[in-house]
Structure 1
Amino acid sequence: MTDSTRRMLRTTVQLGLGLLAALPALVDTGTVPSTLPGLGIALVVSSAVTKLMAIQAVDQLLPSWLQRTQPASPSAVEASTR
Structure 2
Amino acid sequence: MSDSTRRTLRTSLQTVLALLPLLAGEPSARNAPAVAGVVAIAAALTRVMALPEVERLLPSWLRKEGRT
The answer, yes or no, to whether TM exceeds 0.5 is yes
Q: Where does residue 59 of structure 1 map in the other structure?
A: 55
Distance in 1 of aligned mates of 2:28 and 2:66: 42
Structure 1 partner of 2:28: 29
Q: By how many angstroms is 1:22 displaced?
A: 2.0
Where structure 1 has 5 or more consecutive residues not aligned to the other structure, the ranges are 73-82
Q: SS at the partner of 2:65? A: coil
Structure 1's consecutive aligned runs of 4 or more residues displaced over 6 angstroms after TM superposition are: none
TM-score (structure 2 length as normaliser): 0.83
**Higher-Rg member (1/2):** 1
Q: Structure 1 CA distance, aligned partners of 2:18 and 2:66?
A: 25
Larger RCO: Structure 1 or Structure 2 (Cα < 8 Å, ≥ 6 residues apart)?
2
Distance 1:70 1:64 in 2: 11
**TM-score, scaled to structure 1:** 0.70
Give aligned-pair identity as a percent.
38
What are the superposed Cα offsets for residues 42-61 of structure 1, whole Å, 9 maximum, x if unpaired? 11111111000100111010
